[in-house]
Amino acid sequence: MAPKKEGDVVFSLNGKYISWAHTVVAYTAFIGALIVGVYLHYYKIVENEHYGYPDEWFPSVSATIGDRYPERSVFMIFIAITSGPRFALVGLWYFLTRRPNTSLPGIVAATGLFRTVTCGGWTYVTSTDDHNWHDIFMISYLVATLPWTLGCLALSPPNPKAIQYRKVLAGLFFGTLVPLIYFFIQHKVHKVAGAYTIYAFFEWALILFDVGFDAVTALDFETFELVVKDVKGLSRGDAKLLKESVKEKEHDSALIQTSTFDGPYYWPAMLDAAADILHGYFFWSILTSLGLLVWYFPLWHMGISGYEAMILCTVSPVLLGIPSIRSLAIKYNRWIHMSSLVGLLAWLVKDPAYRLFTVGFALAAGCLAWSAEWYAERRNSTRLQSRILAWTVGLTLSSIAKFANHTNNPVWPIMNAENGGWNKTGLLLAIFAVWRSTRPVSVSGGDYVSPNAKKGSGLMAGLGLAGLFFGMHSLLSDSSTMILWVWEGFPVRGPLSVPHGAVTILAMSAGLFLGIALPGFLISWTAYGLGAVGAALLTLYPDWTGYYGGLLLAIYLMGVAPGLITSAVQHNPALSFGFGFFIYNIMLLFHVWVVAYAFVPGGPLVRERTDWVMLTTMLLIGAGVFSALITNTSHQQKSTSSPRGRKQTAYYLHILLALQLLTGSIAYLRFPTNNYESYHKDDKLITAGIWTIHFSLDNDMWSSERRMAAAIKDLELDVVGLLESDNQRIIMGNRDTTQYLAEDLGMYVDYGPGPNKHTWGAALLSKFPILNSTHHLLPSPVGELAPAIEATLDVYGTQIDVFVFHSGQEEDPEDRRLQSEYLAKAMRETPRPAILLSYLVIKPGEGNYNTYVGEKSGMHDIEPSDWDRWCEYILYKDIKRVGYARVSRGTITDTEIQVGKFVVGEPASYSNERISEEQVPPGRRFPALFRGEGVRGHRYHVFDEPWYYA
């Protein structure tokens, strides 16, 4: 062989072989582990927490590769071998696809490297080693798969065969996620036998499609060769090889940006967009917190308190009708925005009234600043579009923050460090975001009169904004609101707040994207008709049909927002924004009065008319559409048709896409993984409690979910009924207390009658599976509707019915009489053992008490001699009662906790003979920590100790 010379090729390898090596070794890792696992541990790796062979007969990927030796080691060894070709594949793809003046190949390559590292993470940190970190690596890998896939499709060389394969495999990969999630829910939530086996097949299919997608690079690498060249003749063994290098001249080239990722300005622009969106998020955080603070006062006054007038702070844009104030608001817009941040400092104000005033001032400043800024930018369509996007994506981010924090916004003034608040972090982010987001606006913008202003109507535009603001706030400020509208109980027949809240957020984002991409269509009567259909379906139908309507409405509301705001800024802002916020407040009261009619003047006129509220909302939006069709003409289209407008918009859409990935990760992390075990299963004990939680606002205006969870956990409640629990209205923050309680305590949850059923709420939490539940709306001809849940639980193999019920108020005796007869009939007719957890508004032994207790119902009072009761009662039949206790409320609410202990499988006894605690087996006793002074303000009270029965 001739000696090698300078420049000779030492080694060459066609790129396709690297791709094939990666594919073969990767498949070997998975299939090898599967073969070894099936051969050695078949019955163990097909078994899950619910079923084993023969119900489940095919192992999942995670059980195969991570649970047992030696298949786990087989997988790890081959995956380690795969890492070399994998890194080479990412590097070769970068060199093959890189282009001048664009950074997209670098971003895709960085994503590929990140995926490779996270793959190593979930491979070598198994779920057995550390479940949390295994999930974090796995979620990160799956999240990075989307931009990697889209990036590879975008950068594919002009190879039709490779492009076709990539599209097919990518479609199969993401399409497989739908049935994968469905069968996982069937397994995890519904515990369907065999569902996990079907899930496993889809999980293995994902592996095949994922590796296959990367294998397609072999087609592109056929003409791409990896060469090792001896440029100095080192391979000849010559000792005198060092030569001076000649530095080549660097030539500057003009930066011609051809995509959104081009040039040095991309990341600063992305930071600007992120600051804008955070700015919008903090505005929505302050807006959604006001209702909560207002609600605290009528809640404790049991009627109108006067503090309700604070909702009028949002009409501050009416001041823009005064030219001098309008000019000042535009000139000093940044400082007005900054002053609104005092709303994020309100958590430091301890007095509830002053806290409300602080937030009211902040919201007045925020509404004034946003309205003035939109109005001032009406001549700059690109800038106006950006500000609208900041505000609307800010709503989406607000909903995501609540989705991640169990429907509480972490920067609300009802939050603090003890109950999950991020107030300090939020304030620092807000100062940075608002400062970077805002900039001086030309005062002359306040003098400009749009040529289209005379064509439309400022009042009509304001009506449109009122409907838009109310629809977005009442339905979209929390991802679970529309889901609870259509919730009908067990068995599950529709969406769940987790994970389907992520679908609601996806629909919001899709609507916003369509509103930017197709502004002419979204502001048309055709789109309006589709939105109206969605509103009708959501209002009239339960379960999936209603939810599909809700998703359609969410898409429409977000999509029509840019067009309606663009129309409104072309009119006098005092009319469009000031009047719009005023009508929005009327709608706010309207949707509260449909349930609070007993406490407000004229309330019975709108009693239980959610359909009227929805109809009015759509009519208001229709007025805005009518005005926008006249005024918008080509204004909005210009902002998205120009290159600068498209580029500016793309920054926000990139962040919106990232937020969807974040939402999917949150949905995965929040998916229930509890085993739902009762506290004393060996004793076959069921501990049941009833608690009126006063809408999860404690005596000092703090969110009380975490303190409630601690009390329920310490009392070892297996079943608990919660009353006054429906917070899914603007005035209550659009919250769902039961989400945190169920996830923290490991319990099944039935939210009870939804927010469109016009009750104050009843909910059921249970350690035992809820086989079936029915929601009742009891007769209430005079006062508010009385909610009840009738649920059948599987308690240690025995079916037991649990009723959770809130009767009418003291002022409505006829309501309470009819309700007692209705519920007594339902309890008498059940053939199963039953427990009633209730709020009855009666005195023991008097009036309706004898309907609830006795022959009419078949039920027995848990302690007939306890005469000091008025509201809360526990009744039972055909089950053995062994204990009863009353526990003080602390400062969480205005009502105590009542608790009863029952034993399943022993004959029922109705004797009221009490025994001492020493005569009770330890597993049947109440916790000792509530004796004496108790813990955190909770103690046994009234008779200062639990009572026990033989």
List, for residues 543-581, the tens digit of each pLDDT value: 999 999 999 999 999 999 999 999 999 999 999 999 999
Nearest to 111 by CA among 144, 138, 155: 144
Average pLDDT, the chain: 86
Contacts of 182 (CB under 8 A, 6+ apart): none
For 696, 860, 881, the CA distances from 691, given in Å and listed in that order, are 11, 20, 19
Is the pLDDT score of 634 beyond 80? no
Residue 73, CB half-sphere, CA atoms under 13 Å: how many?
Answer: 2
Report the run of H or E that residue 948 belongs to, with start and end.
Answer: strand 947-949
Segment 754-759 mean pLDDT:
94
Between 2 and 316, the more confident residue is 316
Predicted confidence at residue 456, as pLDDT, reads 61
Q: In this model, does residue 335 exceed pLDDT 60?
A: yes
List 806, 860, 938, 941, catalytic entry: 806
pLDDT for res 256: 33
Contact 36, 72 (CB under 8 A): no
762-796 confidence digits (pLDDT tens) = 999 999 999 999 999 999 998 889 999 999 999 99
pLDDT digits (tens, 9 = 90+) for 823-852: 999 999 999 999 999 999 999 999 999 999
- At 354-398, the pLDDT tens digits run 999 999 999 999 999 999 999 998 888 888 999 999 999 999 999
Q: pLDDT class for 260, splitting at 50, 70, 90?
A: very low
Residues contacting 76, CB < 8 A, separation 6+: 123, 124
**Tokens encoding 726:** 């429906």
- pLDDT over 80 (residue 128): no
- Spell out the domains of the chain, with CATH numbers in brackets: 10-227 (no CATH), 266-670 (1.20.1250), 681-949 (3.60.10.10)
pLDDT at residue 315 in the model: 96
- pLDDT surpassing 60 at residue 646: yes
Residue 248's pLDDT band (cuts 50, 70, 90): very low
Distance CA 548, CA 446 (A): 43
Helix (H) or strand (E) holding 301: helix 266-301
pLDDT one-digit tens code per residue, 85-113 = 778 778 777 777 777 766 778 888 888 88
Pairing of strands 685-692, 897-903: antiparallel
**Active-site annotation holds for 251:** no
Between CA 115 and CA 137 the distance in angstroms is: 9
Write down the pLDDT at residue 56. Answer: 84
Burial of 599 (0-12, 13-18, 19+ CB in 10 A): middle
Q: 583 pLDDT band (50/70/90 cuts)?
A: very high
Out of 221-225, 524-528, 888-892, pick the least confident: 221-225
pLDDT top residue among 98 and 461: 461
Taking only the tens place, the pLDDT of each residue in 674-689 is 678 899 999 999 999 9
